[in-house]
Amino acid sequence: MGRDFVYVILGGGVAAGYAALEFTKKGVARGELCVVSDEPVAPYERPALSKGFLLPEGPARLPGFHTCVGANEEKLTPNWYKEHGIELMLGTRVISADTRRKTLLTATGETITYKYLIIATGAQALKLEEIGINGSKAENVCYLRDLADATKLVNMMRMCTGVNAIVVGGGYIGMECAASLVMNKINVTIVFPGSYCMGRLFSSKIARYYEDFYESKGVNFIKGTSLSSFVFNSEGKVTGANLKDGRYLHADMVVVGIGARPNTSLFEGQLTFENKGIKVNSRLQTSNTSVYAVGDVASFPVKLFGDTRRLEHVDAARKTAKHAVHAIMEPKTVSDIDYLPFFYSRVFSLSWQFYGDNVGEVVHFGDFSGTKFGAYWVNNKRLVGCFLEGGGNDEYVAIANAIRLKPVVLDLGELERAGLDFVMAV
């Protein structure tokens, strides 16, 4: 059995949806494009799973958050793909790829042939077993990567009102899920080995603000240690956790967010890798000229900082996807990708955005006892990054514009005194 397409997108997540939309904008013909995804639903805005999807009242549900609503573009429902003559192969897992023969093999034995392939396979949640702890399969242990995980988490939350949850990990998933659990009236203890939450991005001062805020909502932080094992009942449900520092925590449910790993194994030994991802050039093209990689799997050149990065954030997925399609469909007019790293989160009534790079010296500004504050990062006398909680749209636009210019900063004290006025005046 075989299917033949000009363009194939492997993966059905954020990047796939944005790539599909871009293909239609560039005039792809009916029957030329195929999206292959092992998920049972059409591409959706994954960030909704840890936010709107988990709300106790009026939660977001599909088809409400199919791509590309997150960027105020069209909503690509399954019908949209049909109307545009795009083959959407859902529930279809690709089990091997041959970049020399330009073929993919599905779990059902079908061979898909392409002229151009876009790899958009994203990442998977790291499992507890990978750090030596058993229990991932217990019915009250939840991860959060896809719709099935989010549905399990919602069902657990409904059954667990008023009881205790342990959140393992103090990164994005841990912090966003902890807020949702609290909103669903569940008592939360977060456990992670670092000395403060969101250690990959926050300064300790920023982290302190969020930890205090969470504590005011009843969340308990246990830092500087991690899980050593779970305790199970006779039905195999987790009833508690032993920590490495000797403490024991009772648990009615557990949410795990200990990091992610890019889904690249199909291409090991066939393409060039960097930063645990598939290395691409400034046109998102891999070491094989017919194959492009976008989103969480792509390690791409970030011109602004003169290096190659793999970013696990939705804005990068959207923009790398769009750029790859431009490069494939209009190679003569495409320029090198020039991406400004952008991350955000929303929890409780809080909302922050970050642009650039968090390296160098940190200069905090604003009112850390109020609702609007932030931080700059200055590296080699240049402003390279900015975090802002509680900003308005014009301020975030000003930050993005300023960071792109990397203005010179000679006096950190002056920068601190100027606060947001500094970027507003750039």
Can you give the binding site for ligand FDA, defined by CB under 6 A? 11-16, 36-39, 46-47, 49-50, 93-94, 120-123, 144-145, 263, 295-296, 312-315, 317, 343-345
Q: Segment contacting ligand NAD (CB under 6 A): 134-142, 172-180, 332-340, 408-416?
A: 172-180
Nearest approach, Cβ of residue 80 and ligand FDA (Å): 17
Distance CA 211, CA 214 (A): 5
Nearer to ligand NAD, 113 or 351 (CB): 351
Distance CA 86, CA 37 (A): 13
Cβ 310 vs Cβ 276: under 8 Å: yes
Nearest approach, Cβ of residue 268 and ligand NAD (Å): 20
Interface with ligand NAD (CB under 6 A), residue from 258, 324, 325, 388: 258
Residue 37 partner contact from ligand FDA, ligand NAD, none using kind-dependent CB cut-offs of 5 to 8 Å: ligand FDA
Closest C-alpha among 169, 179, 227, 176 to residue 199: 169
Q: Determine which helix (DSSP H) or strand (DSSP E) holds 237, and give its type and residue range.
A: none
List Cα–Cα distances, 264 to 88, 118, 250, 384, in angstroms.
21, 12, 37, 30
Q: Determine which helix (DSSP H) or strand (DSSP E) holds 373, and give its type and residue range.
A: strand 373-379
Q: Does 260 help bind ligand NAD (rule: CB under 6 A)?
A: yes
Nearer to ligand NAD, 173 or 388 (CB): 173
**Would the CA dihedral through 58, 91, 19, 46 be positive or negative?**
positive
Residue 269 CB: number of other CB atoms within 10 A?
Answer: 7
Q: Does 170 help bind ligand NAD (rule: CB under 6 A)?
A: yes
Which residue's Cβ has the minimum distance to ligand NAD?
A: 171
List Cα–Cα distances, 117 to 228, 231, 283, 397, in angstroms.
42, 46, 14, 34
Residue 190 CB: number of other CB atoms within 10 A?
Answer: 25
Which residue's Cβ has the minimum distance to ligand FDA?
A: 13
Touching ligand NAD, residues 191-230 (CB under 6 A): 191-194, 199-200, 226-227
Interface with ligand NAD (CB under 6 A), residue from 38, 312, 389, 395: 312
Tell me the backbone φ, ψ of residue 357, rounded to 5 degrees: -135, 140
Interface with ligand NAD (CB under 6 A), residue from 176, 211, 357, 395: 176
Distance CA 93, CA 234 (A): 35
Residue 135 partner contact from ligand FDA, ligand NAD, none using kind-dependent CB cut-offs of 5 to 8 Å: none
Q: Segment contacting ligand NAD (CB under 6 A): 10-18, 151-159, 164-172, 209-217?
A: 164-172
Q: Does 171 help bind ligand NAD (rule: CB under 6 A)?
A: yes
Residue ranges binding ligand NAD (CB under 6 A): 50, 123, 131, 168-174, 176, 191-194, 199-200, 226-227, 257-260, 312-313, 343, 345
